[in-house]
Structure 1
Amino acid sequence: MEGVLKPGTTQLSVVARVTTWPLIGLLALPVLGWLLGGGIWHWLTVMVFAAVSLIDPFVGPDNINHRPEDEAALEKSLFYRVMLWVLVPAQWAVAVFSYWLFTGGQLSTLEQIGLLLSSSIAVGFGATAAHELAHHGQRFDRWMGILLFTPINMCDFAIYHNYGHHNRVATPEDPGSAKYGENVWVFGPRSIVLKTLMGWEIEAERLRRQGRSPWSLHNGMLWMTVLPVTWLVVMISLFGWLALPLFIAHFLFARGLLAVADFLEHYGLARRRLPEGGWETIRDAHAWDDSFLVSSLFFCQIDRHSDHHANVGRPYQILRVMNDAPRLPFGYLTMLWVAMIPPLWRKVMHPRVEAYWDSGAAAPHGRPENLPERYRADAVY
């Protein structure tokens, strides 16, 4: 395929070699559980998710950065785009299969719970690939990302994230940038609501600049709302009202997954305000980085987060580990669980955050009452 490097010309990162096969495999697990006879096998995806979370720290990082002269070939390769596109029909097929099986009346309550959780994980992880597609310069790719967001009711993410988060990250203006001392259980629900509201504000302002009404059909947020609502109406029409709890579960897992990822990615890090009132340029210092291999495989290497923000258009297969960026102690699959236990999160992360502040690379980001006194004068509130 055009753009693919010839064998032996470079050392590829594991993600560049494996691409989206782990996500495709994850999608297949609810179907495999049914083929294996159901029962405990309807919990298969849950078991695999727990297993990969446990092994991630032991597998360790993949710190390969591609040579600059090889990046162009990797970036223009159609192969990486196709591997993302494949997830759209796969995700939709597994989602519809899950609705059919969940509402069919042949499952016990325990099997229904297992299928609900398993399909939420399998379908919800489509959000990681959708995030990648939403950043692509090609209109077709961006729409494929929106289609991946549709079954999990996250289409509005494409507007908030691209035009809100990436402009306001690591400032108090961004609901997706967590402050030092925040509890993820408070941050998550608040950020989900505020990110959606910001999406409406972004579109309203865009249309006002064009002399159009925010309530016109040109409002992207309107269509980003219509798509998942249409999905839900179709699922209820096909499978009855029992489809509603499955839709809600898919929504909650995906939204929660990306909200906790947001919490990890910028916790306590702020850009400094400039004398004229704006914010300093986004740098490596404003996002927590890591490259633990198993996490990278399931998150489309977005855990190389500093490079993602410093170079927004860089596709996932060539994202780099940035040596000057702050580093999470473990991969996302581990830190997701750490974040959900606030005392453990503070024990693991606060010494690391404060040590990075002491380096002067990033300003403290937090409310005065939550910050150690020695950081309050330099903090961004």
Structure 2
Amino acid sequence: MFKYAKYTLFHMLTIPFAIGLTLGGDWMYLGLAAAAGFVILGDLLFGDDTVEPVYGHEWILNLQLYSSLVLIFAMNFLMVWTVADIDVLGYGAFVQQLTGYDAAAARADNTLLQYAVAILSCGLLSSVVGTIVGHELTHRTWDPVAMFIGRWLLAFSWDTGFSIEHVYGHHIYVSTVGDPATAPRGRNVYFHILASTWKGNISAWKLEKQRLQKKRLPVFSHHNLYIRGLLMSLLLEIAAFAMAGWIGVLVFTASALIAKAFLEIVNFMEHYGMVRNPKTPVQPYHSWNTNKRVSSWATFNLTRHSHHHAEGDVPFHKLRSYQDAPMMVNGYLTTIFLTLIPPLWNRIMVPKVLDWDRRYATAEELELAMAANKRSGIKEFMQQDYRELIAAKKSGFEKTAKAA
């Protein structure tokens, strides 16, 4: 039974957040402290999860995924409730009746710093509960229920375009210069958040426009999934305004943008520095992988990214651990924090990318890597000369071809 229960970890991470917002004051730090502390320490202490069990009751797993929509509504409701002038839906009165604690009155003493940390917590958890689960569900393009729930989950980060660009763009162009989500060598994470967001949305619009044109449907119409997605997010903004006016809109928008930023940070670290000819098939080594136990449980095996890109239609519970794939520094949250310090990130990742070149890259990819190294602006990359290695790999390929 534990093989099912372990994927409720992300549900559990929302409980300290909800308690903290309800109690107010310094308790508002609880959500971020609990999530970051548990996941980072868990990855450091509990090692890897490489088991690949068989699941006979997939409906349980689907229920866990679908329940994310309830959680993300509840989290964002509480976040906006904390800044409202009224006790929206009588939540404070309910808490007081249940526990005797005046949660509605406690909001008056919250500080800007406490609100800032709470919004950061909401953004982080929305990226876990919303974006990660939305990613899994919107890959199930054949399932209208999964697509409906997945797109609403993504609406909480103003990112329903992800359901278009990721499936029909990123998975085709991953690790190439044409992929907005793949960070080239030398790019820092802060620029990547902006560049990938901008280019990813342009790509989503173009892909949806092409789809509609092929079906001879009007682009500016209810048929346009990109436009409908924007309207879904706008509806959530209107709900935030109805609850708490413009401060509610500000709080919801800030949380949404933080959740989107976390997605782009994850994109940054999942494919940083990798190269591929878009005409060649995607292989497991074109993604950074990690099998850290707690990260895997908290993200529905998103950590098994190498298999995910090799076979994008495989559901999360059937993803293999691919222990011979190129590995990240550590688990997801640890790696996220490392990206935020570019000098430290470069110190750790430049040697790993160079090792990727020598261990995994084909002769053609080494030529692409040399060009990427020159563009990087980083001395350690720019000093590399792969001509001998390219010749050796080409020679080895020729010998293998003759033997075959």
TM value normalised by structure 1: 0.87
> What is the DSSP-based 3-state SS (H/G/I as helix, E as strand, rest coil) of the residue aligned with 2:177?
coil
> What is the DSSP-based 3-state SS (H/G/I as helix, E as strand, rest coil) of the residue aligned with 1:291?
coil
Quote the offset at 1:49 in angstroms.
2.7
Partner Cα distance (1:47, 1:261) in 2: 20
The answer on 1:122 being equivalent to 2:109 is: no
Match among 57, 60, 64 for residue 79 of structure 1: 60
Give the counterpart letter for 1:331 in structure 2. G
Taking the TM superposition and a 5 Å limit, the aligned residue runs for 1:291-370 are 291-361=291-361, 363=365, 365=369, 366=372, 368-370=374-376
Q: Which runs of 5+ in 1 are unaligned?
A: 1-6, 8-13, 273-277
Structure with bigger helix share is 2
Match among 225, 228, 232 for residue 233 of structure 2: 228
Q: In 1, are the aligned partners of 2:24 and 2:110 still within 8 Å (CA)?
A: no
Quote the offset at 1:188 in angstroms.
1.4
In 2 relative to 1, CA 315–375 (structure 1 residues): closer, same or farther, beyond 3 Å?
farther
The answer on 1:189 being equivalent to 2:194 is: yes
Quote the offset at 1:107 in angstroms.
4.0
Match of 2:262 in 1: 257
> What is the DSSP-based 3-state SS (H/G/I as helix, E as strand, rest coil) of the residue aligned with 2:384?
helix
Partner Cα distance (1:221, 1:238) in 2: 26
Match among 210, 215, 218 for residue 213 of structure 1: 218
Partner Cα distance (1:148, 1:249) in 2: 16
Match of 2:90 in 1: none
The answer on 1:44 being equivalent to 2:54 is: no
Match of 1:95 in 2: 76
Match of 1:244 in 2: 249
Q: In 2, are the aligned partners of 1:304 and 1:320 still within 8 Å (CA)?
A: yes
The answer on 1:22 being equivalent to 2:9 is: yes
Q: In 2, are the aligned partners of 1:27 and 1:123 still within 8 Å (CA)?
A: no
Q: In 1, are the aligned partners of 2:134 and 2:151 still within 8 Å (CA)?
A: yes
Give the counterpart letter for 1:123 in structure 2. S
- The C-alpha deviation readout for 1:42-74, integer Å capped at 9, x for no partner, is 1101111331354122222112234xxx3xx45
Quote the offset at 1:174 in angstroms.
0.5
TM value normalised by structure 2: 0.82
The answer on 1:63 being equivalent to 2:50 is: yes
Quote the offset at 1:163 in angstroms.
0.8
Taking the TM superposition and a 5 Å limit, the aligned residue runs for 1:146-185 are 146-185=151-190
The answer on 1:132 being equivalent to 2:130 is: no
Give the counterpart letter for 1:133 in structure 2. L
> What is the DSSP-based 3-state SS (H/G/I as helix, E as strand, rest coil) of the residue aligned with 1:199?
helix
Give the counterpart letter for 2:258 in structure 1. F
- The C-alpha deviation readout for 1:325-381, integer Å capped at 9, x for no partner, is 211131111111111111111111111111121124352552523243435777xxx
Give the counterpart letter for 2:63 in structure 1. V
Partner Cα distance (1:144, 1:257) in 2: 20
Give the counterpart letter for 1:65 in structure 2. E
In 2 relative to 1, CA 26–323 (structure 1 residues): closer, same or farther, beyond 3 Å?
closer
Match of 2:100 in 1: none
- The C-alpha deviation readout for 1:179-223, integer Å capped at 9, x for no partner, is 111111111111011111110010111112222332232111010
Decide which moves more: 182-191 or 104-113: 104-113
Which structure exhibits the higher relative contact order, with contacts defined as CA atoms closer than 8 Å and separated by 6 or more residues? 1
Q: In 2, are the aligned partners of 1:43 and 1:117 still within 8 Å (CA)?
A: no
Partner Cα distance (1:218, 1:226) in 2: 13
Name the Cα RMSD after superposition: 2.1
Q: In 2, are the aligned partners of 1:57 and 1:334 still within 8 Å (CA)?
A: no
Quote the offset at 1:259 in angstroms.
0.5
Q: In 2, are the aligned partners of 1:30 and 1:98 still within 8 Å (CA)?
A: no
The answer on 1:266 being equivalent to 2:271 is: yes
Q: In 1, are the aligned partners of 2:4 and 2:61 still within 8 Å (CA)?
A: no
Give the counterpart letter for 2:259 in structure 1. A
Quote the offset at 1:155 in angstroms.
1.4
Partner Cα distance (1:86, 1:247) in 2: 21
Give the counterpart letter for 1:96 in structure 2. F
Counting aligned pairs with the same residue, the percent is 25
Partner Cα distance (2:242, 2:295) in 1: 37
In 2 relative to 1, CA 367–102 (structure 1 residues): closer, same or farther, beyond 3 Å?
farther
Partner Cα distance (2:385, 2:242) in 1: 56
Structure of greater Rg:
2
Quote the offset at 1:77 in angstroms.
1.4
